[in-house]
Structure 1
Amino acid sequence: MGVLAEATETALIVPVPAAEAVVGPYRAILDDSAPLGVPAHVTVLSPFLPPERVTEQVLGDLRACLTAVPSFGCVFARVAWFGTQVVWLAPEPDAPFRALTGSVWHRFPECPPYGGAYPDAIPHLTVGTAHRAEPAAMRRAAVEVRARLPIRALVDRVRLIAGTGAPGSWGTVAEFALPSA
């Protein structure tokens, strides 16, 4: 668990490699997490436990609760916005993503999605945020990405990642395969 040694935070994500060709160039410029080394993804739970609390027992508990959701296919066919602050892709269906979040949160109730900041943790794949980009750049990205949809993806794993605020610092701690459907 070498990546944990220097990490200041952890998160659980569903990597979406099928989306990289479409959103990767935009995320590199518009999304806070891309320069840190975080791939295109849908967040399962962030923040997760502090790095020093991630033990073999925690990894076993994660493995056990993630087996509650079988692998599934999804389609990203719609660009959406959280106000004017975040442009994102909507996964359809989103219920399996919600089930993953619910399963982990049930086992680790001290880790509410997004620190409890939002009443409903909407599954999404971030393309860009106002923290990093001007509104015009985000609107342009939304139009250009929309023209390249849909993106079809197989969701068959969840990753525990860890890192700091430094560029390129995030990496995989563990990967959990979802059971076959």
Structure 2
Amino acid sequence: MTDNDSHRFQARQSGLIVKVPEAEPAVRMWRERFDPSAGAGVPAHVTVLFPFLDTSRIDEGVCAEIGEVLDRHQSFEVRFEHCGRFPGVLYLAPEPDTPFRRLTESIVERWPENPPFGGQFDDVIPHLTVAQGQDGAVLEKVESDLLGSLPIVARVSSVDLLVHDGTRWRQCVTFPLW
């Protein structure tokens, strides 16, 4: 839920993420320093869809629909074995990334008015942001430190809906995968 959008977080925004608690020991220190979403309450994660719906549109019916869409997806294991980069961003690359892409595609198919990252990217690459907005030397240092902690293996068994209250992100609902 980052990629230089963190300064644009606003009250009533929402997003769907896959939390990756297994990555926290390796990334927490770096995310707290170099990923503004961490300071706003977002745990280590891979984004499924951000921005999603304005919170005024999220009710029991919408949550039921999200659950129905996600219920078509089964849980899966993912490995983070290497880092990747976007301009000014260091991330952990999930392998395989196809299940994340399918989660995003299925949510966007149901809510096409909400393209990933507002439609600013042609190809949305699943990733776990560790640092952003830093120069290459800082990203090199972070990457060098992270390599000693890899691989990270995680079991993905749910998707979380987060909402922004104007100050912090809060977990609203957890949707299990089968």
Scaled by the length of structure 1, what TM-score is found?
Answer: 0.90
Instruction: Verify the 8 A CA contact 2:11 2:166 in the aligned structure 1.
Output: no
Q: Distance in 1 between matches of 2:16 and 2:154?
A: 18
User: Which residue does 1:52 correspond to in 2?
Assistant: 56
How far 1:135 sits from its partner (Å)?
3.6
Q: Distance in 2 between matches of 1:98 and 1:143?
A: 28
User: Which residue does 2:144 correspond to in 1?
Assistant: 143
SS at match of 1:37: coil
- 1:97-116 equivalences under 5 Å are 97-116=100-119
User: Which residue does 2:162 correspond to in 1?
Assistant: 161
Q: Distance in 2 between matches of 1:165 and 1:143?
A: 35
The residue type paired with residue 102 of structure 1 is: E
Instruction: Verify the 8 A CA contact 1:68 1:103 in the aligned structure 2.
Output: no
SS at match of 1:111: coil
The residue type paired with residue 120 of structure 1 is: D
* Per-residue deviation, residues 86-131 of structure 1 (Å, max 9, x unmatched): 100000000000010011000111110111000011000000111x
How far 1:8 sits from its partner (Å)?
2.4
Q: Distance in 2 between matches of 1:164 and 1:145?
A: 32
User: Which residue does 1:20 correspond to in 2?
Assistant: 24
Q: Distance in 2 between matches of 1:139 and 1:87?
A: 9
In structure 2, stretches of 5+ residues that fail to align are: 1-9
* Per-residue deviation, residues 1-56 of structure 1 (Å, max 9, x unmatched): xxxxx942100000000000000111000112000000000000000001111111
The residue type paired with residue 107 of structure 1 is: R
How far 1:134 sits from its partner (Å)?
4.2
Answering whether residue 178 of structure 2 is matched by residue 175 of structure 1, we say no
Which runs of 4 or more aligned residues in structure 1 lie more than 6 Å from their structure 2 counterparts after TM superposition? Answer: none
Q: Distance in 1 between matches of 2:172 and 2:11?
A: 10
Answering whether residue 124 of structure 2 is matched by residue 125 of structure 1, we say no
How far 1:165 sits from its partner (Å)?
5.5
How far 1:164 sits from its partner (Å)?
4.6
Instruction: Verify the 8 A CA contact 1:74 1:155 in the aligned structure 2.
Output: yes
SS at match of 2:18: strand
- 1:52-91 equivalences under 5 Å are 52-83=56-87, 85-91=88-94
User: Which residue does 2:97 correspond to in 1?
Assistant: 94
In structure 1, stretches of 5+ residues that fail to align are: 1-5
SS at match of 2:36: coil
Scaled by the length of structure 2, what TM-score is found?
Answer: 0.91
User: Which residue does 1:35 correspond to in 2?
Assistant: 39
Q: Distance in 2 between matches of 1:37 and 1:122?
A: 23
Q: Distance in 2 between matches of 1:136 and 1:37?
A: 27
User: Which residue does 2:12 correspond to in 1?
Assistant: 8
The residue type paired with residue 43 of structure 1 is: T
SS at match of 1:128: strand
